[in-house]
Chains A and B, each alone.
Chain A
Amino acid sequence: MVREPASLSVALSQAGPIALDVDIACGPSELLALVGPSGAGKTTVLRAVAGLHRPAAGRIVAGPDVWFDGAFGIMVPPQARAVGLVFQDYALFPHLSALDNVRLAMRHVAEPERTAVAASLLVRLHLDGLEARKPDQLSGGQRQRVALARALARDPKALLLDEPFSAVDRMTREPLKEELAGLRRSLAIPIILVTHDLEEAQALADRICVIDRGRTLQTGTPEDVRLRPVSALVARLTGQTNLFAGEVERVSAGGQPGRIRWGGRCLDVADTGKMRTGARVTWLVASDYVVLVDPANEGEANVVHGRLTDVTRLGERTALSLRVDADGDAPLRFTMATRDARNHGFEVGRPLNVRLLPEGIHLMPSVR
């Protein structure tokens, strides 16, 4: 059956039991990651889309189909939504084989064809040879793939993945992620991935939606959310650590960089956005915009001096913390290749100059 690709739009609001104020849209073939801390309401959003939770108000539309409309009292049951949902712990039917788990979700397919179609789905997910195994005879990664096959068996209009990698170990996770990345290229449906793992979201998603306490705070490309969070809260929720307080001294205009005051020094900022002169701001510099400077270039703009307070090797990368001279703020954190860190002989207590690239500095309204 050929179907026009359709998008999914979800607007939800309710006061309790979990407060929700959510507005998201996901295009066909798009993978949208819902990111936020535990208890942020991410799973509740997925459950509402799947028809397992009835929100107080809102509207959920998949292509031409209205699945939920609080104002008109429309609540299409999950059975009639054609949505594929991969549960966090997979929720496979424990008494059925892998093949029957998939077959049971294919009641829209004529009985004689079900087995062949289900088997081909299992092959597509590299589960051939495991058709007869029951869930307790499969590894975590294999169970996840059966759950994915079952979700796709309905020929869904949207695919929902609830923390799909949280129940498998790290060794299994990487190949599974690659497989999902490959699989999604062949799916012309919206995919919503719920995760609290920002790296996972950055690696897989076309767009990221940051959600906290049931509210969508920002939706944008992974790069946008990482480099240009709308608030310090979003920056913190997405794992940014280089957040500092400052004051706008000059706004950027006509290609001229702006300038902020940070403690006793000034920093150039490529774009001060909508900030006004004199505004107190929280500013952010992503760790990949912190670069080492040659002692000969110390006079350049945005070079700051400090002393290393922590050097932690994390395999290929090394994390460094730099306490900037005469500043009470938290240290600047950045990473570099472990080989380079070793070659430079970086160790705790060593003085160091770094440059904060003006295009990597982003200003947000002050939270103080």
Chain B
Amino acid sequence: MDWTAFSLSLKLAFWTCVLILPVAVVLARALAWGRFAGKSLVEAVVMLPLVLPPTVLGFYLLSAFSPASGFGAFLKWVFGVPLVFSFPGILVASIIINLPFAVQPIQRAFEAIPRNVREAAFVSGLSRMATTRYVELPLAWPGIVSAIALVVAHTLGEFGVILMIGGSIPGETRVLSISIYDRVQAFRSEDAAIMSAALLAFSLVAIALVHVLARVRR
């Protein structure tokens, strides 16, 4: 069992969730109720990772993150390390590829809130911020929980894009799925079987847990 890879996968899933949720909530809310130019384009871009082959997405991200490109150099300046073959790099890639999984359920949850319930909050004296805090977010909670479950499961299972951006550096970019791949390549099927079973069990428990949490909260 490659515990380093296992803990790296958990670390990646945790930080992906932490960083993606505020972005996803803002985006989902805007897409659910906002009326702005280019809304369809934003929606399409957010959904793009769902349909693009991971290798295509990985290739574009690799090109963009490469310090040889102007944008990549800028990112290196911002993050302090180059985004290729580093943990920050696979984290940014993970956030991008997980956007549809985070945005979709939250957007549906916001859309399901009746307009007059939000208006009732305004008429009850609640500011827009207070309405979001006390009415919208609690009502969108099941959608947020679904998003967490999907993002965690998807991050633990992500392979193609991470391999393209991060390669397989132990302790830095070699997550569990890549470690499993490496073991299979090296004909160490027993290791691969144990790690696959661990990943399967953990994903199952994680998803079950968030669903229980969603029910408790409601």
**Residues of A close to B38: CB separation below 8 A:** none
**Residues of A close to B127: CB separation below 8 A:** 79
**Residues of B close to A50: CB separation below 8 A:** 119, 123
Residue among A78, A93, A94, A95 making CB contact with B122, cutoff 8 Å: A78
Q: Give the nearest-CB partner of B120 in chain A.
A: A91
What secondary structure prevails in chain A residues at the interface with B? Answer: loop
Complex contact A85–B117 (CB within 8 A):
no
**Interface assignment of A227: CB less than 8 Å from any CB of chain B:** no
Give A87 to B123 CA distance when docked, in angstroms.
Answer: 10
**Residues of B close to A105: CB separation below 8 A:** 124-126
**Interface assignment of A263: CB less than 8 Å from any CB of chain B:** no
Interface digits, B113-136 against A, CB 8 Å rule (1 contact, 0 not)? 010110111111111001000110
Complex contact A107–B120 (CB within 8 A):
no
**Residues of A close to B138: CB separation below 8 A:** 95
Complex contact B126–A107 (CB within 8 A):
yes
**Interface assignment of B218: CB less than 8 Å from any CB of chain A:** yes
Give A81 to B126 CA distance when docked, in angstroms.
Answer: 11
Do A91 and B218 form a contact, CB below 8 Å, given A52-B122, A79-B127, A104-B124?
Answer: no
Give A33 to B117 CA distance when docked, in angstroms.
Answer: 24
**Residues of B close to A82: CB separation below 8 A:** 125
Give A104 to B139 CA distance when docked, in angstroms.
Answer: 15
Give A153 to B138 CA distance when docked, in angstroms.
Answer: 22
B218 CB to nearest A CB, Å = 7
**Interface assignment of A89: CB less than 8 Å from any CB of chain B:** yes
Which of B120, B126, B135, B139 gathers most chain A CB within 10 Å? B120
Residue among B116, B125, B130, B218 making CB contact with A154, cutoff 8 Å: B125
Complex contact A95–B124 (CB within 8 A):
no
Interface digits, A334-358 against B, CB 8 Å rule (1 contact, 0 not)? 0000000000000000000000000
Complex contact B139–A95 (CB within 8 A):
yes
**Interface assignment of A170: CB less than 8 Å from any CB of chain B:** no
Give A104 to B133 CA distance when docked, in angstroms.
Answer: 12
Interface digits, A152-193 against B, CB 8 Å rule (1 contact, 0 not)? 011000000000000000000000000000000000000000
Complex contact A107–B130 (CB within 8 A):
yes
Complex contact B139–A92 (CB within 8 A):
no
Interface digits, B14-26 against A, CB 8 Å rule (1 contact, 0 not)? 0000000000000
**Residues of A close to B139: CB separation below 8 A:** 93-95
Give A79 to B122 CA distance when docked, in angstroms.
Answer: 5
Complex contact B125–A94 (CB within 8 A):
no
**Residues of A close to B121: CB separation below 8 A:** 93, 104
**Residues of B close to A83: CB separation below 8 A:** 123
Give A248 to B129 CA distance when docked, in angstroms.
Answer: 65
Give A153 to B120 CA distance when docked, in angstroms.
Answer: 13
**Residues of A close to B218: CB separation below 8 A:** 95
Q: Give the nearest-CB partner of B134 in chain A.
A: A104
Residue among B119, B125, B130, B135 making CB contact with A108, cutoff 8 Å: B125
Known contacts A85-B120, A108-B125, A154-B125; 18 additional CB pairs below 8 A are: A51-B123, A78-B123, A79-B126, A81-B123, A82-B125, A83-B123, A84-B123, A87-B120, A91-B116, A93-B139, A94-B139, A95-B138, A104-B121, A104-B124, A104-B134, A107-B130, A150-B120, A150-B124
Residues of A within 8 A of B (CB): 50-52, 77-79, 81-85, 87, 89, 91-95, 104-105, 107-108, 150-151, 153-154
